[in-house]
Amino acid sequence: MAGHGLVERARRAAGLTQGELARRAHTSRPTLSAYENGRKSPSLETLERLLGEAGFDVAAVPRVQFVDVPGARGRVYRVPTSLPRLRIADALATVVLPLDLNWSSPGQEFRLSDRVERAMLYEIVLREGRPEDVVRYIDGVLLVELWQELVVPRDVRAAWESVVDALPRRS
C-alpha cells in the first residue's frame, strides 16, 4: 500500500506523535494509524500533506539498475548504470563490513567520514561487493571525488569507468 511505513518513518524522524501529525495534517489519529499500519492507503495528495507536515517532500528517485560487465579471467562485475546516492548520515557513518566482503580484516570499523578509511572501504566494495553492497555503502558523489586515488585492479576500474566518467569531476 502507498505510504505504508513511509509515513511512520517520517513522523518518527520529525519527533512527532501520531496525534500531533494528525492535527497538523487535518486528519484523525485513527486514520493516520491506519495509514502507518497498512490498513488504509493514502491518496498522493494526502501522502504529500502528511509528509509535508513532518518536514519531508515526496520525490521520485531513480532506481539504481545493475548490468554485467566482463572482467579479466572470466570474472563478471555487477556495475550500476547510474551511481547510487546515500543519505548523509549513511554516507559518513562508521560501519563494519560483513565477513564475505572484508574477510582479511574481520570486524574492522571504517569511519566513512574519514577520507582514507572511506577510500579503503570503497576499494573493498568495488572489488568484492554485490549490488546490495554497492547501494548500501557507496555514495556516488563521494566515489567520483575519490575515483582517481582508489587502488583497484585494472579490470575493476575499466568496468566502473563509464558510469564514473559520466559525471563531472573536480580538477
What CATH code is carried by the domain that includes residue 34? Answer: 1.10.260.40
Give the pLDDT mean for 100-110: 94
Q: Is residue 106 a contact partner of residue 112, using CB atoms and an 8 Å limit?
A: no
Q: Is residue 15 a contact partner of residue 52, using CB atoms and an 8 Å limit?
A: no
Total domains in the chain come to 2
> What range does the domain containing 38 cover?
4-54
Distance of alpha carbon 95 from alpha carbon 122, whole angstroms: 12
Task: Give 158: exposed, middle or buried? Use CB within 10 Å, 0-12, 13-18, 19+.
Answer: middle
Q: Are residues 10 and 92 in the same domain?
A: no
**pTM score, two decimals?**
0.77
Whether 61 maps to a domain, the answer reads no
Q: Are residues 70 and 94 in the same domain?
A: yes
Q: Are residues 97 and 159 in the same domain?
A: yes
Tens digit of each residue's pLDDT (9 = 90 or more) over 13-52: 999 999 999 999 999 999 999 999 999 999 999 999 999 9
Q: Are residues 101 and 128 in the same domain?
A: yes
Whether 60 maps to a domain, the answer reads no
Q: Are residues 93 and 22 in the same domain?
A: no
